[in-house]
Amino acid sequence: MFQLRFRLVKTYVQLLLVGALLQIPVIAKCISLRMDLNGNIVGSTKDLTVLVEVASATEGDSDTEVRQKTSIEESRFQMLAWFDTTSNVISVETCDRKPHLVIVKLMQGEQVLDRQTLTVERDFRRTKSGGYQLKRPITLRRPADK
């Protein structure tokens, strides 16, 4: 009798351990929308970066940070940004956050050399995958050195 209970407890503990080890990682509830941007830089591109901020259309939402990947080759830049649709403005988390204003900055260190402010509704088109793509390349200008 004791051996039967011990085997039953042992099997139960093993199942719990296997279940804990195989536990599926927590997956984000909301998606991130991909935003494709590209354009030209007038002037030398040495020591320059291009950054983007995306403001939400949700009232009271002040978060503008996006995950981004940028490449600059000669006078052209390509940028991918991912806009998180998770909204925390109300007490319950929802997935209804939508991009509205896109601010593209030409930077040298901490200094902003040029900026373009775009609206998603006017300057972007939806892609088949549900993201956004800039309709026309933008131009950023590096001021001439004096």
User: Which pLDDT belongs to residue 23?
Assistant: 47
Task: Tell me the two tokens of residue 114.
Answer: 């040029």
Q: Could you read off the pLDDT of 30-67 as tens digits, one per residue?
A: 899 999 999 999 999 999 999 999 999 888 888 889 99
Q: Could you read off the pLDDT of 90-113 as tens digits, one per residue?
A: 667 788 889 999 999 999 999 999
Would you place residue 26 in the very low, low, confident or very high pLDDT band (cuts 50, 70, 90)? Answer: very low
| Phi and psi at residue 95, to the nearest 5° | -115, 40
What percent of the chain is predicted at pLDDT more than 90? Answer: 62
DSSP state of 94: B
The ranges assigned to domains in the chain are 32-141
Q: Could you read off the pLDDT of 129-144 as tens digits, one per residue?
A: 999 999 999 999 998 8
- The DSSP element (H or E) to which 109 belongs, if any, is none
For domain 32-141, give its CATH number from 1.10.20, 2.40.50, 2.60.40, 1.10.287.
Answer: 2.60.40
Of the candidates 31, 27, 29, 28, which has an alpha carbon nearest to the alpha carbon of residue 99?
31
pTM above 0.85, yes or no: no
